[in-house]
Structure 1
């Protein structure tokens, strides 16, 4: 005997809500956008720095040594001393007015600027927020908040122009882990690297031209310094080195500089194994010794100024250049919340939102 079908023609969700008064009626019509940056400690004291560094240096994407070897070394030796030196570095650049790191301040400013532009284009349908891979606000807390606000789709935007497993991939990993625990799991798009995006190259070129226009004399060389990584990662197939080279070539061509006017280097070496070369701290000293006493330096791999730019470049790397006989050292800030940078982010997001939302006519 065939089972009698229901004659209730109401929509399924309405029928379920009628049967269960506590049934969720939260809509899923909004789209979340997450700008993801590397991270920041909550403060500069020993324990805040230790928590942050432990999370960062325990990431197997960043340090891929066996945890049976690495964790005792990290927890018992490295993290007994490094929080003091790292805390000192952060204190030298800390935003005391807001009691936070410059990276946090800048990422918030970027988010607010992008949100304003997207609201003008899409109305209130797009919800923009930012997250940190390490530290706060955590990726999971931000994604959970977007789901609570009714976001049924998410665009996740790692703010790394050049792809690396140590940056882009681990940021995506954390977002995927957050969704693994969601009962109502939304579709998510991840923004790919944009090392050759025309608006990114143009924004970099404009930042160089703007800084050069402020100088009395054109620098002898433009040092383009990227965050380093072990050569072993390159041999394993990480495309980061190639994408850094491509960004530099496109920037040089856009500026119309000769090949010997632009020098690519890699900074922030950690540990004893070989990293991508030439090392920035050594190369700037070499340039001074070769008679290039006036240089400018920029860091295109960073979307926001942070400890690696404001402290390492502006202090440690600058000191290396001056001590070797250099005279004029000019740091060109990261793109930060510059209008050209925000325009690039919005253009990329417009493409990624295609099919999910269209700008108002």
Structure 2
């Protein structure tokens, strides 16, 4: 029986209010986030984290004083472990959780994986759409820490799954459930809201926005609603640089002008955290009321939806050993997206 270690990657979040500032520092000191030389990045990260900490602490107070992201990810890891236990390949799978900017960090998890002594390590970011700022950052940190821990097992990287059947089916089901609860109301406009990125990162070849668009197209096709009214938009903008758009705030304002109710789908998130529980549920709900949106509803994240978990298990079980690729077979992204790390043949 072969031993397989599956490592789930997520952003992480502060586990108490005192952890907010160091968490923010870790975030902004990441060269994938602030792309400046180390000494300059360090100083900027110190400045931003100190200035933003009081604001962020208020956000986390609204969630009970801590981020729920680790608990959410632990539940997903448990569900995935249980699903993998039903496999028929005879292998043993153990699932680990590694957070990028707060505990458990990759260094500690790499030591746990080393002690487990697996025959293969399978890396699975909980970011359906690949970005150099999220999945790639986590994978690079893991590579460094795995090397330091002395992990020599073959490593398979499952970098993204923007149109994976289980992921798409899970969100489609949750949207349908939300639409059923809205029966009797006017048909809403669907806002597929994803975390934003600076435009220069996308222009530099990051495939994230393109992959978000593929996700939304797949969900819309599976919904199969005639004349579906939907928009893709981006939230969580920070700093003075230009970000990809349209902004979620602007689309909320437009819905108010059009007299359209809204159903918001957090299409790039698979776990509940500050950007869903506070930004979408509180701040944007208040904005919608101010802008005259008739009704504002939000679809929950897929979290432990059975179709999503089964889909993740399928990605793991159907992997191509030792690869680093979208869907673990052929390259998903067009070759113009140089930020894509996939190795096999390119799609024209």
Is there any run of 5+ residues in structure 2 with no aligned partner, and where?
324-348
From the superposition, tell whether residues 82 and 316 of structure 1 become closer, same or farther in structure 2 (CA, over 3 Å): same
SS at match of 1:286: helix
SS at match of 2:139: helix
Q: Distance in 2 between matches of 1:259 and 1:277?
A: 23
Residues 23-102 of structure 1: pairs in structure 2 closer than 5 A: 29-45=2-18, 48-75=19-46, 77-94=47-64, 100-102=66-68
Deviation at 1:92, TM superposition (A): 0.7
**For 1:50-84, what per-residue CA distance to the aligned partner results, in whole angstroms no more than 9, with x for missing partners?**
11111111001112134444432331x32222111
SS at match of 1:245: helix
Across the aligned residues of Structure 1 and Structure 2, the Cα RMSD in angstroms comes to 2.0
Q: 2:271 aligns with which of 304, 311, 318?
A: 304
From the superposition, tell whether residues 238 and 269 of structure 1 become closer, same or farther in structure 2 (CA, over 3 Å): same
Q: 1:346 aligns with which of 306, 313, 321?
A: 313
Q: 2:119 aligns with which of 145, 148, 152?
A: 152
Q: Distance in 2 between matches of 1:237 and 1:85?
A: 32
TM-score (norm 2): 0.87
Would you say 1:245 and 2:218 are equivalent positions?
no
Partner of 2:178: 211
SS at match of 1:131: strand
Partner of 1:12: none
Partner of 1:197: 164
SS at match of 2:100: strand
8 Å CA contact retained: 2:2, 2:91: no
Q: Distance in 2 between matches of 1:43 and 1:352?
A: 37
8 Å CA contact retained: 1:282, 1:320: no
Q: Distance in 2 between matches of 1:184 and 1:161?
A: 26
Deviation at 1:327, TM superposition (A): 2.5
Q: Distance in 2 between matches of 1:114 and 1:218?
A: 38
Q: Distance in 2 between matches of 1:106 and 1:325?
A: 33
From the superposition, tell whether residues 170 and 259 of structure 1 become closer, same or farther in structure 2 (CA, over 3 Å): farther
Count of residue pairs brought into register by the alignment: 321
8 Å CA contact retained: 2:157, 2:322: no
Deviation at 1:218, TM superposition (A): 5.1
Partner of 1:13: none
Partner of 1:112: 78
8 Å CA contact retained: 1:252, 1:258: no
Q: 2:297 aligns with which of 308, 330, 346?
A: 330
SS at match of 1:39: coil
**For 1:102-135, what per-residue CA distance to the aligned partner results, in whole angstroms no more than 9, with x for missing partners?**
2111111111111112122256721111111110
Q: 1:143 aligns with which of 107, 110, 115?
A: 110
Would you say 1:231 and 2:204 are equivalent positions?
no
From the superposition, tell whether residues 328 and 53 of structure 1 become closer, same or farther in structure 2 (CA, over 3 Å): same
**For 1:211-263, what per-residue CA distance to the aligned partner results, in whole angstroms no more than 9, with x for missing partners?**
11122325420000000001101111011111111111111121123566111
Shifted more, 256-265 versus 172-181: the winner is: 256-265
